[in-house]
Amino acid sequence: MLVGDNELLEMFDHVLRLSRVDETQSVAVLKSANSNPRLVWAAMEAAQRLKAKVYGVELPSHNYRSYTSFDPTGYVGETALTGHEAAKKALGAADLIIDTMLLLHSPEQGEMLNAGSRMLLVIEPPEILARMLPTEDDKRRVMAGVRRLEQARSMTVQSDAGTDLRCDLGQYPCVAEYGFADEPGRWDHWPSGFLFTWANEGTTQGRIVIDTGDIILPFKRYAQSPITLDIEDGYIRKFSGGFDAEHLKTYMMTFRDPEVFAISHLGWGLQDRAQWTALGLYDRGESDAIDGRAFYGNFLFSTGPNTEAGGSRNTACHMDIPLRRCSIQLDGEAMVTRGIVIPEDQAIPGYQSPFD
């Protein structure tokens, strides 16, 4: 059922309150020609009702010559804010920036966060925002996972499909996404519900098998056949399989940058209201496919940039690939077993996995 304007406004009010917006705060709403006008309207109206000092910053649509899709995650790092110092100053003056355009992986986003601004990305359709409206309990579970991830020095991932991966941890920070931005310098995405970190450079070894039905982003489609990735010293060295493997490899090669084959962040999903099946219910241009990234018990790995973590890989190709039915261990302790979240501080009582 479609979300009406009153409900959408109430949802934004809820999330902005969780993000600590009140009369002492300034809120900037970033938009472009590609932004959903209903989200822009609701963000500004809700901020005004909370008596914040709200203003809009509109940038022109941006199309880099190498784009092969209108999907904003298909080419990361360069945005309409790149080189636009005036707009960056206007945005950076706000306590909270609501991004309806997508600045993720851009240097400008990092600079504004490092200066203390909070940022909340909101680009999903209202119906997805409603289904995964964030709660304090979402934050509790994600932060419980982050505390364990911060202490870990190794991660292993295995699956019946053939994944057998190991890496060392500790070089890079951990990231929590729970749906609201409540601390200075914090970035988040409404909706979300997962956590991740980056492996120590050069330590990721083994094999990842993308099984039939696993999700490949930003392609926004389910794999139709298995893809085997052989990984040595932190990089994909070999693709094996049929058409899906050839398609993935060829797409990544079009960026003409060896860094696109680096393994980037690794983590797991904790959002039980995210649905693996949702990708089949939306046109590709409607959703950023957050359901795939966040669904409960997934193993999410990515490739390409690590600038979010303070690394130097500023490459434009970023693949997010969530896998089902994986087992994840930190220093030998089970976090996820065949897609079931194990620790009590992250588990949801009575949750039944659809993948059993």
Q: What is the pLDDT of residues 138-186, one digit of tens each?
A: 999 999 999 999 999 999 999 999 999 999 999 999 999 999 999 999 9
The DSSP letter of residue 199 is P
All structural domains of the chain with their residue ranges = 5-123, 133-341
Query: Are 130 and 102 within 8 A, CB to CB?
Result: no
| Span 5-123 CATH architecture | 3-Layer(aba) Sandwich (3.40)
Q: In this structure, are residues 113 and 186 in contact, taking their beta carbons and an 8 Å threshold?
A: yes
Asked whether 159 and 326 are in contact (CB, 8 A), the reply is yes
Model's pTM, two decimal places?
0.94
Task: Write the CB contacts of 310 (distance below 8 Å, at least 6 apart in sequence).
Answer: 172, 173
Tell me what pLDDT residue 304 has.
Answer: 94
For residue 15, give both structure tokens.
């999330």
What pLDDT was estimated at residue 72? 60
Interatomic CA distance for residues 221 and 213, integer angstroms: 9
Residues in the chain: 356
**Below-70 pLDDT ranges, the chain:** 1, 62-78
Q: How far apart are CA 224 and CA 226, in angstroms?
A: 7
Residues 6 or more apart whose CB falls under 8 angstroms from that of 352 comprise none
C-alpha Rg value of the chain to the nearest Å: 19
- Residue 184 and residue 116 in contact, taking contact as beta carbons nearer than 8 Å: yes
DSSP element (H, E) containing 168: strand 164-168
Both tokens of residue 289? 């496919």
CA dist list (Å): 333 to 148, 151, 157, 272: 10, 12, 11, 22
Contact (CB, 8 A) for 195 and 267: yes
> 3-class SS at 132?
coil
Q: What is the 3-state secondary structure (H, E, C) of 297-334?
A: CCEEEEECCCHHHCCCCCCCCCEEEEECCEEEEECCEE
Helix ranges, 209-348 (H) = 243-253, 290-294
227 contacts 219 by C-beta, under 8 angstroms: no
